[in-house]
Amino acid sequence: MTHGGPVASVAVSTVIFTLLPRSDALHLHLPVVRRTRDPFDGAWALPGGWIGADEDLADAARRTLVETTGLRPSYVEQLYTFGRADRSPTGRVVSVIYSALVRSPEAARVAEVHNVRWVPVAEASGLAFDHDEVVAYALWRLRAKVGYAQVAVHLLGETFSLGQLREVHEAVLGRELDPANFRRRVVASGAVEATDEHLTGGRHRPPRLYRAVVPEGAAGPFETTAGPAA
């Protein structure tokens, strides 16, 4: 079999996770963008775009995020590459997928407009191309890594209470956790360390604040060595 010139276009897409309040609890959300041209004109999709000829992949991910959502995550990590031959009806497109975590105050500053909206991860379906699969894979990776300290840092900040940390785990895992068991497990794991500070503003005894213990050389919450074929 012989091969000719280039047969695929290269793009980037990014799955951004944040925690936003809904009803009486925090829920994992992500931003989606309404497409304004074919294919899938009018459908919702992950933010992304084409890579410039001389552009670094990570730079392209950051640029397209700003252009489509206005978000500027401090941490963006390459997640996986999706390149199935039939994933786009206009020809073969290989998409390098990035993932990012943003804290809720940053997410709240990005006002929803006609072509951008925040959706709960549980309702992020019917997206253009194979973006349903992309979201499912990114969520699988996040759930596998939620116990790592970096997740708490990127979603909560440098310090947090164990109650706030439990809310993160519950939102990511999609289920409630026993508070006492969670506290014992987290403290025993060595993933966090107590500070001399306490959370202020509550009606009860202020809980102690903790900080994440991030192993030296840790690249980020999504780092892994393998994943499912795409």
Is the pLDDT reported for residue 229 higher than 50? no
Residues 24 and 105 in one domain: yes
Quick check: is 122 in a domain?
yes
Is the pLDDT reported for residue 230 higher than 50? no
Residues 113 and 38 in one domain: yes
What does pTM read for this prediction? 0.88
Task: With cut-offs at 50, 70 and 90, classify the pLDDT of residue 205.
Answer: confident
Burial class (CB in 10 A: 0-12, 13-18, 19+), 40: middle
Amino acid in the structure at residue 72:
R
Residues 97 and 192 in one domain: no
Quick check: is 104 in a domain?
yes
The whole domain housing 191 covers 149-212
Residues 107 and 179 in one domain: no
Residues 177 and 79 in one domain: no
Residues 53 and 33 in one domain: yes
Residues across the chain: 230
Residues 113 and 23 in one domain: yes
Is the pLDDT reported for residue 110 higher than 90? no
Q: Give the pLDDT confidence score for residue 225 in this predicted structure.
A: 37
Which of 119, 142, 165 is the C-terminal boundary of a domain? Answer: 142
CB 98 within 8 A of CB 6: no
Q: What is the mean pLDDT of residues 215-226?
A: 60
CB 42 within 8 A of CB 192: no
Is the pLDDT reported for residue 224 higher than 50? no
What backbone torsions phi and psi does residue 87 show, to the nearest 5 degrees? -75, -15
User: What is the average pLDDT score of the chain?
Assistant: 88
Quick check: is 51 in a domain?
yes
Quick check: is 77 in a domain?
yes
Angstrom distance (rounded) from CA 106 to CA 89? 35
Q: What is the mean pLDDT of residues 137-153?
A: 88
Residue 126 DSSP code: S
Residues 155 and 134 in one domain: no
Residues 173 and 129 in one domain: no
Residues 18 and 104 in one domain: yes
Q: Structurally, how many domains does the chain consist of?
A: 2
Q: What is the mean pLDDT of residues 209-230?
A: 65
pLDDT tens digit string along 6-31? 678 999 999 999 999 988 889 999 99
> Which residue spans within the chain are E strands per DSSP?
9-22, 25-34, 44-45, 48-50, 76-82, 93-101, 116-120, 159-160, 192-198, 208-212
Task: With cut-offs at 50, 70 and 90, classify the pLDDT of residue 171.
Answer: very high
CB 39 within 8 A of CB 122: no
Which of 142, 168, 199 is the C-terminal boundary of a domain? Answer: 142
* Both tokens assigned to 141: 């990776």
Quick check: is 1 in a domain?
no
What Cα–Cα distance (Å) separates residue 120 from each residue in 30, 39, 52, 129? Answer: 7, 24, 31, 19
Q: Give the pLDDT confidence score for residue 207 in this predicted structure.
A: 94
